[in-house]
Chain A
Amino acid sequence: MPAMSPIPVTVLTGYLGAGKTTLLNRVLTEEHGKRYAVIVNEFGEIGIDNELVVNADEEVFEMNNGCICCTVRGDLIRIIGNLLKRKDQFDAILIETTGLADPAPVAQTFFVDDEVRERARLDSIVTVVDAKNLMARLDDSHEAAEQIAFADTILLNKTDLVPSDELARVEARIRAINPTAVIHRTERCALPTDAVLGRRAFDLDRILEIEPNFLGEDDHQHDDVITSVALKEERPIDVNKFNAWIGNLLRTRGQDILRSKGILNIKGSPSRFVFQAVHMLIEGDDGKRWEQGKARDSKLVFIGRGLDEAELRMGFGACVAA
C-alpha cells in the first residue's frame, strides 16, 4: 500500500431546511467516478444516496493542550481513523453537521489530533443558507452567524423565492460578517461540484491574495455581533513584532476571533509570509515569492465577535519594521 496523500475533508454546515441534504445528494450523484464517505449527524435527514454513510453523534470534547484550551469532535477522530482502515480509499470525506452546530470543533479536530492531521486535511467549510429565512435566523440565533463566519464557501440558496433587492440585502449582511468567502447564489443548490469540493481553502500556499469583498453600506444597519475587520499596511512588517502581537492576540482573544488570515510583507524576506487561524490554532509559513516591481501590501482579515477595529489597527500598525 503506497503512502497516500491526506484525504480532503469538506464540512457542510447550515440550518435544517437550508438545503444541505440537497447539496450532498447533488455532489454524490453527479457523474464523476469518485468515491466519497459521508459522515452525517444523528438527526440527519434521510435519503442520502451513497454507499457509505456513517452516523456520528457530534460529541464535542474539550482538549487540554498546555496553554491552549480548545474543543474537538471526539467522535470524528475515531470515525475518520476507522474509515482510513478500508482497503478501497475515498477521494474525499464529506461531513454534514446539525443545523445548530458550531463549526469550530469540527475544524479544530483537523489541526489538533496528530493522527487525523497525518491522514486527512480540511479542504473547506461550506455553509448553505436559505435566502428567505436567513435574516430572521441571524436575528434570533448566534449559530447562523457563526456558520457564515467560518465558511469558505457560502451557498445563498433558494434565491428563486426572494426578490432581487431583498437578495442584495441578504448578501450584504453576509458580507458584513464574512468578507472573504465565495458566495454562490443557487436554486436547489444547483452548482458545479468543483465549486464546493477541492477548494483547498486551508492550504497556506493557496492564500495568494486577500481581497475582502465588502459590499456597500447596507440600507438597514444590522448590528450583528459577528463582524469582520480587514487591515492593510504598505510598509514592511517586523516578523518578531508581528509574531509576538498575533500570538498574544489569539491567545487572549482567540475565543472571540473565529477565523483570521493574512499575507505579510516581512522586512528582508523575498517571499510572502502567510498564515491562517481557527480561533487560537494558527498555522503560518513562507508563501510565494513577491513579484518584481509590484506592490507588496500586507493584508489581514479577522472575523469575530465584538472586534475592536481601532485596537486591531493600532496593534498591527505597531508591527511595522523600524
Chain B
Amino acid sequence: MSMLTEERHILAPERYDLTFDAAVTGMAFLNGGLLAIACGDGGVRFVPAGDAPISVQAHENGAAALTLALDIDGAGVLTGGDDGRLVRTSADGASRTLLEAPGRQIDVVAVSGPGGLRAAAFGRELRLIDRAGAVTHATAYHPSSVTGLAFNPKGKRLAASHYGGVTLWWTGTLGQSPSRLGWQGSHIQVSWSPDGSTVMTATQEATLHGWRLTDGQHLQMTGYAAKVRSMDWLAKPMTLATAGGDCVTAWRFTGGGPMGKPPVEAGRGIGRLVTAVAVHPKRPLVAAGFDDGCLALCELFGERIVRLQSGDSGRISALAWSRNGARLAAGAESGAVSLFDLSMAAA
C-alpha cells in the first residue's frame, strides 16, 4: 500500500524550518537521528528534532564546506573544504582534520561503512583513510582531476571518475594495478549500483554513461536538459533516480533494462528543473528538489506526486532521508533548510 494514500498527513506534515546565511552544501542523518548540515560558511550544524542546532566551525577563515558524507561510524560527518582540509566532525562538537592539501579544494569525499574506509580527492590526488584516521593508500594516477568517488557495496573497490571515464581501484592495493573504464568526455560524478554490477557516471554533456562490469556492456542515457548533479538508487527493483530534467528520470535495471526501455518519469507537472533527488530508504518513493526551491514526494512506479513545499527558497542543493524514512530534510542554496516529519504517514 502506498503511503501516499494517507494524504492528510502528507499534505501538512509536521515541519521545522531553519535558515543559515550560507548555501547548504550537504546533509546526512546520523545514526542517533540528528541531522548534520554542511554550509558555505564552513560550519557543520547538528539539528536535534525540533530543537536549536548545534554549530561547529569545521572549516575556518571564510572557507566553505564543499561536500559532506556520513562517516563510517554513523556518529559524525566528513566535510571537504576549499581550505584544502578534510574534517571529521561529531555531534559532541569535536572536529579533527584528517587531510590537509593547501591551495586545493576538497570537493569529492566518499565513505564505505562495510569497508571501514574513507576516500577523498583533490586534483588528481586520491587518499584512502582508515577508521583510525591514517592515510593507508595514496595515488595520483588519474589522467585528470577526480570528479567523483564511489565505493562498491562491500567497500572492496573504489571508482574514481574523471575526464575520459572511470578508474577502478581495489581498496587493498590502491595505487597499484588500476583498471580503466573508458568513455569519451568529461565525467563529473560516479555512482556504484547497490548490487555491485554497474558503475554509472554523469557527464558534462548532460548524459549518463554506465559500464556493466559483469559483461562489459556500455549504457548510455541521453535527453537531459542539464547536467545530472544528483542520482540515487532504489535497491529493489533496482532503479536509478536522477535529476537534470523537469521531472525525476528513473531508469529500471530489471527486465532487460535500462537500455532500450524508456525511463519512468516521476513528478511531472511542476515544470522546473530537478536539482536533487533522494530515494526513500524503504519504499519506492523519491524526494525531488527543484531549482526554485519546490519540493515534492513522487511515487517511482505510480503517477502520484505530493508537493511538500512550493518554490520560494532558491535551488534545492541537498536532500536526506533519516535511516527509517520517517524524516526528510531539504537544504537550499539560499541557506534554507526544511525538516519534515513523515512518521505518521510512514507508519
Contact = CB atoms under 8 A, between A and B. Distances in A.
Interface of A: 1, 51-55, 57, 59, 61-65, 74-75, 77-79, 82-83, 85-88, 113-115
A54 B22 contact: no
B314 interface: yes
Interface in B108-153: 123-124, 144-145, 147
What is the size category of the interface that chain B forms with chain A? Answer: 35 or more
Interface of B: 21-23, 25, 39-42, 61-64, 66, 82, 103-105, 107, 123-124, 144-145, 147, 163, 184-186, 204-205, 226-227, 314, 333-335
A65 B207 CA distance: 12
Contact of B314 (A1, A61, A79): A1
Given A57-B144, A64-B205, A87 B62 contact: yes
Contacts of B144: 57, 59, 61, 74-75
A303 B40 CA distance: 42
18 contacts: A1-B23, A1-B334, A52-B62, A55-B103, A55-B123, A57-B124, A61-B144, A62-B184, A64-B205, A65-B205, A78-B105, A82-B64, A82-B66, A82-B105, A86-B40, A86-B63, A87-B23, A87-B41
A185 to B, nearest CB: 34
Contacts of B23: 1, 85, 87
A196 B192 CA distance: 47
Contact of A64 (B39, B82, B185, B226): B185
A13 B163 CA distance: 25
Contacts of B185: 61-64
Given A82-B66, A114-B227, 12 more contacts: A55-B103, A61-B186, A62-B185, A63-B185, A74-B186, A82-B64, A83-B82, A85-B40, A85-B64, A85-B82, A87-B41, A115-B227
Q: Name B's interface SS.
A: loop
Given A64-B185, A79-B105, A85-B25, A74 B145 contact: yes
Interface centre among B21, B163, B184, B186 (most CB of A within 10 A): B186
A49 B266 CA distance: 51
Interface centre among A65, A83, A87 (most CB of B within 10 A): A87
A88 B39 CA distance: 12
Contacts of A61: 144, 163, 185-186, 204
A1 B205 contact: no
Contacts of A51: 61-62
Contacts of B204: 61, 63, 74, 77, 113
Contacts of B22: 1, 85-87
The 5 closest A-B pairs by CB, nearest first: A87-B22, A87-B41, A85-B40, A55-B103, A86-B64
B145 to A, nearest CB: 5
Contact of A75 (B63, B145, B226): B145
B334 A63 contact: no
B40 A87 contact: yes
A113 B203 CA distance: 12
Contacts of A65: 205
A115 B61 CA distance: 26
A59 B145 contact: yes
Nearest to A42: B123
Contacts of A52: 62, 82
Contacts of A83: 82
A248 to B, nearest CB: 24
A1 B335 contact: yes
Contacts of B61: 51
B107 A82 contact: yes
A6 to B, nearest CB: 15
Given A64-B185, A64-B205, A88 B107 contact: no
Interface centre among A51, A79, A85 (most CB of B within 10 A): A85
A75 B124 CA distance: 11
